[in-house]
Amino acid sequence: MLTNRVKGVEYAIREIAAVAHEVAKSGKKVYHLNIGDPVAYDFPTPEFISEALFKASREGKNNYVNSLGVIELREEIGRILSEKQNLNIGIDDILVTSGVTEGIYFIIAGLIENGKELLIPGPSYPLYINYAKFFDGKPVEYALNEDDDWEPDIEDLRKKITNKTQAILICTPNNPTGVMYGEKKIKEIIDLAGEYDLPILSDEIYDQIVYDKPYVCPASLTKDVPIIGLNGFSKTHLVTGWRLGYLYYHDPENKLDELKNGIAKMARARLSANSVAQFAAVDILKTSSNHTVEMVQKLKERRDYSYNRLRKIEGISCVKPNGAFYLFPKLDLKELGKWKDDKELVVDLLKETGVCTVYGSGFGDYGKGHLRITFLPKVEILEKVYNLIEEHLK
């Protein structure tokens, strides 16, 4: 007894973890390069952040709170968006969610039904595909062009807009490619959205994890096209398990009022996001700390090491990531010879060497023939991992 809706849900990142669990049970050491969770590696939650959570709980802030989010937290988020991005976002334009995940769920629930289409990047973070299908809609992937450093292909995007399109989703820095969209391309997408009167959904979870050039906030580039930004505390503040995020509406011409009110209703129906985490988040945002900068410094070395090793492996090519913590190399399956597709290779690599990556086809059609690998582990571990990969693919 199970609905087709639920039968259709797939999440390669976690599914490969189940195979890894079996491999570990057989006594083999597993190297996890499949999950984008820095806290699971050597990036523990900073002490002052854990303290803020204990403090909130000790102070008795353990009850349900405002469904749209604790007001002080929304004020802080608005202040930061105004300071950093020069956006005019008031507390009524912010909704606190249980991670970006819930924000995406809410928005897709509010926009998609009955075969309506959501334009998402291809390759795509699986959540967008899952929720679009879950709500009886159609995820339509526009190409990120690997030959152009994974920049979005604007002509392909234009071709895929139909009278069923409800919104254009962008994700920069991107999961799984690890690359930011260039400012010029973001502007072109904004122009296109304006031309067709479509809102943009902007997944900004990796906005502070960038290496070679500054992050560009899409909403800062337009005074009229509506943009819903999604962000959270998981990665930047090293609290993936707290499940705390938010969305904000940059909607200077109030085109999204109906959607906004509908989503607020959904938020009320689920009572509230985690209360103690919200009060702790107010303290976190008010405290000046270098933990994200330090994390990025450490990650940069790991990115460079991984990229240099990967590009020397025969049968593999890779665009250098400039954000997030993923590499998305392309496999030349003909040259490699032994495996029929990316999934077979990933499962074989895992079973034989213990190296756990994610098959690219788990990120939609454009992901086929690729692997997603995080560079979160320490260089000593990465060295072992790349030795194993290199040896196995020979």
Ligand X SMILES: Cc1ncc(COP(=O)(O)O)c(C=O)c1O
Residue closest to 85 by CA, chosen among 216, 198, 187, 178: 216
100 forms part of the interface with ligand X (CB under 6 A)? yes
172 forms part of the interface with ligand X (CB under 6 A)? no
171 forms part of the interface with ligand X (CB under 6 A)? yes
181 forms part of the interface with ligand X (CB under 6 A)? no
Record the tokens describing residue 346, joined without a space.
Answer: 């990933």
Count of H helices and E strands in the chain? Answer: 14, 15
Binding mask 1-40 for ligand X (x = CB under 6 A): -----------------------------------x----
Part in contact with ligand X (CB under 6 A); list of ranges 94-102, 263-271, 313-321, 359-367? 94-102
Part in contact with ligand X (CB under 6 A); list of ranges 93-101, 336-344, 348-356, 370-378? 93-101
Residue 129: other Cβ atoms inside 10 A: 24
**Min dist. Cβ of residue 366 to ligand X (A):** 15
Binding mask 108-147 for ligand X (x = CB under 6 A): -----------------x----------------------
Cβ-contact 64, 96 below 8 angstroms: no
Part in contact with ligand X (CB under 6 A); list of ranges 95-103, 254-262, 279-287, 342-350? 95-103
Among 76, 141, 203, 342, interactor with ligand X by CB under 6 A: 203
Residue closest to 358 by CA, chosen among 222, 176, 160: 176
Q: Per residue in 72-103, is it b (16+ CB within 10 Å) or e — as a string?
A: bbbebbbeebeeebebebebebbbbbbbbbbb
Preceding amide of 123 cis, omega within 30: yes
**Min dist. Cβ of residue 101 to ligand X (A):** 3
Q: For residue 368, what is the DSSP state? A: T
Instruction: Determine the angle formed by the axes of helices 379-393 and 291-310, rounding to 10 degrees.
Output: 20
How far from 49 is each of 74, 209, 238, CA to CA, in Å? 18, 19, 9
Binding mask 33-72 for ligand X (x = CB under 6 A): ---x------------------------------------
Interface with ligand X: number of residues (CB under 6 A): 13
240 forms part of the interface with ligand X (CB under 6 A)? yes
**Min dist. Cβ of residue 337 to ligand X (A):** 32
Q: Are strands 165-171 and 200-203 parallel, antiparallel or unpaired?
A: parallel
Three-state DSSP class for residue 372: strand
Among 46, 78, 99, 229, interactor with ligand X by CB under 6 A: 99
Q: Which is nearer to ligand X, 171 or 331 (CB)?
A: 171
Q: 59: burial class by Cβ within 10 Å (0-12, 13-18, 19+)? A: exposed
175 forms part of the interface with ligand X (CB under 6 A)? yes
Q: Which residues does 1 contact at the CB level (< 8 Å), separation at least 6?
A: none
Question: What are the backbone angles phi and psi of residue 220, rounded to the nearest 5°?
Answer: -75, -10
101 forms part of the interface with ligand X (CB under 6 A)? yes
245 forms part of the interface with ligand X (CB under 6 A)? yes
Binding mask 275-294 for ligand X (x = CB under 6 A): --------------------
Alpha-carbon gap, residue 378 to 89, rounded angstroms: 39
Site for ligand X in 210-239 (CB under 6 A): 232, 234
Give residues in contact with ligand X (CB under 6 A). 36, 99-101, 125, 171, 175, 203, 205, 232, 234, 240, 245
